[in-house]
A = this chain, B = another copy of it.
Amino acid sequence: MPETRYDVLAIGNAIVDIVAHAEDDFLVNQGLTRGSMRLIDANEADRLYDLMGPAIETSGGCAGNTAAGVASFGGNAAFIGKVADDQFGKLYTHDMRAIGVAFDTGPLAGGAPTARSMILVSPDGERTMNTYLGACQNLTSADIDRDTVAAAAIVYLEGYLWDPPQAKDAFRCAAEFAHDAGRQVSLTLSDSFCVDRFREEFLGLIRDRTVDILFANESEVRALYQTADFETGVHALQKDCRIAAVTMGAEGALVVTHDGVRRVSATPVETIVDTTGAGDLFAAGFLFAHARGMSLTDAARLGTVAAAEVIGHVGARPAVSLADLARQSGFEL
């Protein structure tokens, strides 16, 4: 096996988040589904932006947030994703490297701009995302560096990679490189609407063991197995997956393996400000711990520490050192 340079290599859509508070009335008037992610084109992006409130900008994207979280824990993280050669692309690249993530995907020149997601945060912290994929449409298997994949203990892929037409080839290519090198492949289902779009393909990836570790939340589990009964979904997961980690918000998380289902509690949060990134940061804690050989339940516990941090403020990336936070929570890193 080649040298392990990275705990986690995350591959996903490189997106700048444009985050604004919004009353639920605004969502209703705009016909938006609370808590969902929808894909929009450049015209709709401009139209919605004109209507939404003043915002802050911050680097985001599922896999990117997870990579940033792993780095914040003191882990070695790398990221592959496609930005454009523009101001938002520079911003995204800076934020990745500044937190310590290796990020060397060549930016797209002369094409679509860097992806942006207009995230409307409701008063209760729920987020509704409106994503213009822009340059992410141009992530291809040519961007997947075999040596980088082989050097990572775990490659982490987001379900949203199924949206840009060429990125699924990049996904399959990365999974193949990883398994060829004896590495593990993990997938987050991203959101229930994404599962609805690509259910059969995701089930295929899970059942043919392309995916070793699956991340999902309750609604994604229900969507994957088209069942209203969460328990039924969890039983199906237990059959289909080697390892699944299922987040349940305030109820904590489940670690699902062939051997059984174990629950860990959520880390308490004083005020939920913005739930964006909760699942991504759970994955960061889980994957970092797993790459470092901790038990699966401790991995899930570390995941809840990271998730609790990120929902306490606006933005999907840690505002403090997760390594410090983990030590304060009794973990020895």
A residues lining the B interface (CB < 8 Å): 18, 20-21, 49-50, 52-59, 68, 86-88, 91, 94-96, 98-99, 113, 314-315, 317, 319
For A320, give the chain B residue with the smallest CB separation: B21
CB-defined contacts of A95 to chain B, threshold 8 Å:
54-55
Instruction: Please report whether the interface of chain A is mostly helix, strand, loop or mixed according to DSSP.
Output: mixed
Let me know if A56 and B315 touch, CB within 8 A.
yes
For A116, give the chain B residue with the smallest CB separation: B87
Let me know if B98 and A53 touch, CB within 8 A.
yes
CB-defined contacts of A88 to chain B, threshold 8 Å:
87
**Assembled-state Cα–Cα distance A70/B91 (Å):** 30
CB-defined contacts of A58 to chain B, threshold 8 Å:
55-57
Q: List 17 A-B contacts (CB under 8 A).
A: A21-B319, A49-B94, A50-B94, A52-B98, A54-B59, A54-B68, A54-B94, A54-B96, A54-B98, A54-B99, A55-B91, A55-B98, A56-B56, A56-B58, A57-B57, A86-B87, A87-B88
Chain B nearest CB from A187 CB (Å) reads 26
Specify which of A57, A59, A99 lies most central, judged by the most chain B CB atoms within 10 Å of its CB.
A57
For A321, give the chain B residue with the smallest CB separation: B21
CB-defined contacts of A20 to chain B, threshold 8 Å:
98
**Assembled-state Cα–Cα distance A175/B150 (Å):** 65
CB-defined contacts of A91 to chain B, threshold 8 Å:
18, 55, 57
**Assembled-state Cα–Cα distance A21/B320 (Å):** 9
> Residue A57 contacts which of B52, B53, B56, B68 (CB distance < 8 angstroms)?
B56
**Assembled-state Cα–Cα distance A295/B59 (Å):** 44
Given A54-B317, A55-B95, 16 new contacts (CB under 8 A) = A21-B319, A49-B94, A50-B94, A52-B98, A53-B99, A54-B59, A54-B68, A54-B98, A55-B91, A55-B94, A56-B56, A56-B57, A57-B58, A57-B91, A87-B87, A87-B88
**Assembled-state Cα–Cα distance A88/B87 (Å):** 7
Chain B nearest CB from A332 CB (Å) reads 24
Specify which of A18, A54, A91, A317 lies most central, judged by the most chain B CB atoms within 10 Å of its CB.
A54
CB-defined contacts of A57 to chain B, threshold 8 Å:
56-58, 91
**Assembled-state Cα–Cα distance A98/B54 (Å):** 5
